[in-house]
Amino acid sequence: MTLRRSRALQSLMSMYFHLRAVPPPALRNSAPWFQRLFEDDWDTVRERIGRHREEVLDKLYGDVELLYCGIPPNHAPEGPRSNVVLGGRPVFHNDPAVPPFLLLTASQVGRVAGYLRSTDFDGLWRDARPQLLRPYDVSYAEPEVRGMFAATHRDLTAFYEQTAEYGDAVVKWLVV
């Protein structure tokens, strides 16, 4: 892809926003436990918490947040719209220079899943389109950019629906 934005973001290639489903009985309200949750490999996590479901958003996670919450400042009321990507109760890392973990309870996950299940992607796209296309600055980028956001919306919907079905919580963390 020759879009100007993709070149500008090359230096951020190692930054990801991870969302992991965790059964409530396995949750520990401690930053060291959350740290281990994200350091362990797939099999270790599955053994420790029984099931492992994860969604990973790349360096454009802030743009995905824009899709759900509107143009900054965030116009969404506190609720499922604002909890889809960056929402949750912060659990601060032991190192203040490291981003906090975010925790959504099982009931919050259920509300987010319901919101995503009932929302119309085309309506979200229509509202956020001007802001989401602005960084690309080329008219031919729209189909590809729209497709990327539509795929992310489908993935997030599936993640939250499955997590809600199991009655699990979600722990989120920006991993750099």
pTM: 0.82
pLDDT of 41 over the 70 cut: no
Domain ranges, ordered by start, for the chain: 20-175
* Omega before 73 within 30 of 0, i.e. cis: yes
Name which residue leads in pLDDT, 16 or 101: 101
Cβ neighbours of residue 25 under 8 Å, at least 6 residues apart? none
Name which residue leads in pLDDT, 44 or 112: 112
| Range with top average pLDDT, 11-15, 99-103, 139-143 | 99-103
* CATH class label, 20-175: alpha beta
- At residue 140, the pLDDT reads 85
pLDDT of 74 over the 70 cut: no
Q: Any idea how long the chain is?
A: 176
Position 141 confidence tier, pLDDT thresholds 50, 70, 90: confident
CA 146 to chain centre: 17
Give the SS3 label for residue 2.
coil
Q: Which helix (H) or strand (E) is 22 found in, with range? A: strand 16-22
Q: Which residues pair with 103 in a beta bridge?
A: 89, 171
